[in-house]
């Protein structure tokens, strides 16, 4: 098996791109965007590396990054990797309690974060005492706290960084996938995991230094991290936005050639397009009879340079993919998971196998295990992009990676006679929302266990109006509920408690509607170890 370089070596030629723009990101606290060239990114990340070394950051130390995508985040990420330390991106939409649990799970030593997050963490009494590894906060923004280092001050370091020996097998990234239940899983991704995935994925997805890439995937998500590294590796211009309303303007103003996002973006775009076309008889006729002409107009409205779109992080509706390609708009869908760095498969921009997530990327071994009579079974994979394991959690690691190195994805699917993968569902419990966010049922169950009116519960996924949502199935605690209370009243009271308890969870993890609370009539069926037989209740949602 080939040995791939470290991420630092992979993108080490950024200085060769000279004054070309590397990043364009929202200006924090102000309107508009700010830019940084490749030369600046190289210079600033070297200065940060030297400053971290001056402050005794050692190879292997864990440094958390908290905040929306911004220049400081990107510089921090690359500077951390230059020192041989480990970057630990964290979701800024989590609650302080959730973040604290992730600090513990990942043995975080330093925290680099936006000013608002530094203030939240500084206000948590005894945080430093509770977390033995935690030593220092660094604020991306100006903040009046003598105990907090200023990110800008670190960048003023003029010394040259000391050489650091980094091996491809060294840990580069910890991606935390859970953390509420005390059984947090921090995915260990090595330099080789990441660089091999980029090298092999780029053989399928064509990105060059002439491209302008607009992405919406946040950098605390493995999909967003991969796009950031891959963009710098190819030398293209990367633009990040979370402003859906200004998307057409950003595409036009910047001459965007590649749009990268989550299904929620593409579903919304296509729905709006269809509504516009079908509302006018003449436009509707053109839409049905001259789709390529309509598609050409759409691309012109987006600046006229769009080559293709890339969707990842969650399943894309095959109808949307077919509808966009019918208009002559290329769509590439990828499939993967955090534990695989993340890309496993990718399809081509105009293939006719709607519903397929494509073929395995080069060097990846992919097979279907335990097939049923329809050849559907669990997708298992092996290759250089497979994680090293879950940090300090050998038990969970052994549950997903077998003795022969095959990672069991928990996804069900089949391969056609041309080796194209079609997914048919999930064996694992994780809920993947339209936004690409992963929600772990156990986290929500742990939080809702505080509600006395609930005797037993199960959190699972379900659909409402064609969109995946969080469902809560509840068997009430009738020992404390007044006899004769109407079922609707029981449901309303429990829903009020669910909303209250959910405030301790990040917004995206909260059940959104009383419609998603289902009262079951009998206790759940369980295994001999008293675990709920979740598969029996999938139809109840």
In order along its 541 residues, the chain shows pLDDT tens digits of: 468 999 999 988 777 777 789 999 999 878 889 999 999 999 999 999 999 999 999 999 999 999 999 999 999 999 999 999 999 999 998 889 989 999 999 999 999 999 999 999 999 999 999 999 999 999 999 998 999 999 999 999 788 999 999 999 999 999 987 544 445 689 999 999 999 999 999 999 999 999 999 999 899 999 999 999 999 999 999 999 998 889 999 999 999 999 999 888 998 899 899 999 999 999 999 999 999 999 999 999 999 999 999 999 888 888 899 999 999 999 999 999 999 999 999 999 999 999 899 999 999 999 999 988 778 899 999 999 999 999 999 999 999 999 999 999 999 899 999 999 999 877 677 788 888 888 878 778 878 988 999 999 999 988 887 788 999 999 999 988 998 999 999 999 999 999 999 998 999 999 999 999 999 999 988 754 456 777 677 654 5
Q: What is the pLDDT of residue 181?
A: 45
Quick: pLDDT tens for 176-215. Answer: 875 444 456 899 999 999 999 999 999 999 999 999 999 9
Q: How far is CA 445 from the centre of its chain?
A: 22
Q: Which domains does the chain have, with CATH numbers?
A: 7-191 (3.40.50.12780), 440-540 (3.30.300.30)
Q: Residues near 307 by Cβ (< 8 Å), separated by ≥ 6?
A: 211, 257, 258, 330
Query: What is the distance between the alpha carbons of residues 187 and 287, in angstroms, rounded to a whole number?
Result: 46
Closest CA to 327 of 293, 352, 302: 293
Query: What is the distance between the alpha carbons of residues 143 and 338, in angstroms, rounded to a whole number?
Result: 34
In DSSP terms, which residues pair with 401 in a beta bridge? 407
> What is the 3-class SS of 293-310, one letter each residue?
HHHHHHHHHCCCCCCEEE
Q: What is the pLDDT of residue 234?
A: 93
Closest CA to 366 of 317, 332, 411: 411
The answer to whether residues 199 and 53 touch, using CB atoms and an 8 Å cutoff, is: no
Token pair for 4 = 């791939």
- Cα–Cα separations (whole angstroms), residue 208 to 7, 202, 336: 18, 9, 23
Quick: pLDDT tens for 450-497. Answer: 899 999 999 998 888 778 899 999 999 998 899 899 999 999 999 999
How do the residues of the chain divide into helix, strand and coil, expressed in percent and rounded to 5? Answer: 35, 25, 40
Q: What is the pLDDT of residue 373?
A: 78
- For the purposes of burial, counting CB atoms within 10 Å of the CB of 129, is it exposed (0-12), middle (13-18) or buried (19 or more)? exposed
In DSSP terms, which residues pair with 213 in a beta bridge? 238, 258
Q: How far is CA 191 from the centre of its chain?
A: 18
Q: What is the pLDDT of residue 13?
A: 72
Query: What is the distance between the alpha carbons of residues 205 and 354, in angstroms, rounded to a whole number?
Result: 18
User: 247-265 burial, b if ≥16 CB within 10 A, otherwise e?
Assistant: beebbbebebbbbbbbbbb
The answer to whether residues 82 and 56 touch, using CB atoms and an 8 Å cutoff, is: no
Token pair for 229 = 């590294």
DSSP string, 154-216: HHT--SPPPP----TTSEEEEEE---SSS---EEEEEHHHHHHHHHHHTTTS---TT-EEEE-
Q: Residue 243 in 3-state DSSP?
A: coil
| Rg of the chain over all Cα atoms, to the nearest angstrom | 24
Helices 71-83/222-234 angle, 10° precision: 80
Q: What is the pLDDT of residue 537?
A: 77
Q: Residues near 431 by Cβ (< 8 Å), separated by ≥ 6?
A: 438, 439, 440, 441, 459, 460, 461, 468, 470
CA atoms within 13 A on the CB side of 498: 29
Q: What is the pLDDT of residue 147?
A: 92
> For residue 342, is the peptide bond before it cis, meaning its omega torsion is within 30 degrees of 0?
yes
Token pair for 522 = 């009998």
The answer to whether residues 493 and 487 touch, using CB atoms and an 8 Å cutoff, is: no
């Amino acid at each position: 098996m080939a040995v791939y370089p470290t991420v630092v070596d992979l993108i080490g030629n950024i200085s060769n791109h000279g004054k070309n723009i590397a990043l364009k990101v929202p200006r924090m606290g102000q309107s508009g965007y700010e830019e940084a060239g490749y030369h600046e990114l190289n210079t600033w990340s070297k200065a940060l590396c030297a400053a971290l070394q001056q402050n005794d950051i050692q190879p292997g130390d864990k440094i958390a990054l908290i905040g929306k995508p911004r220049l400081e985040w990107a510089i921090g990420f690359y500077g951390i990797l230059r020192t041989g330390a480990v970057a630990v991106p964290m979701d800024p939409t989590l609650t302080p309690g959730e973040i604290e649990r992730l600090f513990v799970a990942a043995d975080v030593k330093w925290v680099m974060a936006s000013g608002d997050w530094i203030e939240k963490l500084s206000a948590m009494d005894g945080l430093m005492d509770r977390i033995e590894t935690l030593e220092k906060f660094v604020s991306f923004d100006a903040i009046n706290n003598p105990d907090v280092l200023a990110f800008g001050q670190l960048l003023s370091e003029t010394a040259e960084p000391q050489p650091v020996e980094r091996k491809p097998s060294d840990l580069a990234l910890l991606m935390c996938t859970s953390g509420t239940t005390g059984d947090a899983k921090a995915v260990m991704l090595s330099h080789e995991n990441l660089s091999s995935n980029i090298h092999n994925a780029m053989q399928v997805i064509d990105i060059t230094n002439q491209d302008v890439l607009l992405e919406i995937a946040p950098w605390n998500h493995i999909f967003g991290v991969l796009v950031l590294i891959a963009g710098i590796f190819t030398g293209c211009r990367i633009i990040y936005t979370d402003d859906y309303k200004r998307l057409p303007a950003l595409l036009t103003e910047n001459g965007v050639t590649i749009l990268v996002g989550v299904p929620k973006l593409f579903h919304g775009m296509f729905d709006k397009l269809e509504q516009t076309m079908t509302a006018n008889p003449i436009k509707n006729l053109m839409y049905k009879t001259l789709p390529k002409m309509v598609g050409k107009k759409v691309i012109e409205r987006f600046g006229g340079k769009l080559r293709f779109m890339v969707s990842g992080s969650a399943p894309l509706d095959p109808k949307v993919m077919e509808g966009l390609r019918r208009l002559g708009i290329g769509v590439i869908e990828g499939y993967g998971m955090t534990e695989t760095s993340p890309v496993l498969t990718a399809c081509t921009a105009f293939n006719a196998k709607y519903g397929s997530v494509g073929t395995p990327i080069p060097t990846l071994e992919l097979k279907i295990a335990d097939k049923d009579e329809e050849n559907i079974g669990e997708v298992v994979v092996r290759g250089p992009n497979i994680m090293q394991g879950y940090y300090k959690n050998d038990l969970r690691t052994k549950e997903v990676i077998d003795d022969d190195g095959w990672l069991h994805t928990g996804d069900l699917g089949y391969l056609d006679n041309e080796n194209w993968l079609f997914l048919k569902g999930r064996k694992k419990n994780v809920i993947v929302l339209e936004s690409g966010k992963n929600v772990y049922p156990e986290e929500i169950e742990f939080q809702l266990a505080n509600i006395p009116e609930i005797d037993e519960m199960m959190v699972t996924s379900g659909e409402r109006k064609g969109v995946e949502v969080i469902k809560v199935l509840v068997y009430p605690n009738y020992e404390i509920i007044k006899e004769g209370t109407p079922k609707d009243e029981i449901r309303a009271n429990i829903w009020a408690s669910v909303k209250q308890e959910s405030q301790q969870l990040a917004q995206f993890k909260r059940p959104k509607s009383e419609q998603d609370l289902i009262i079951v009539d009998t206790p759940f069926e369980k295994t001999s170890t008293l675990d709920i037989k979740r598969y029996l209740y999938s139809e109840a949602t």
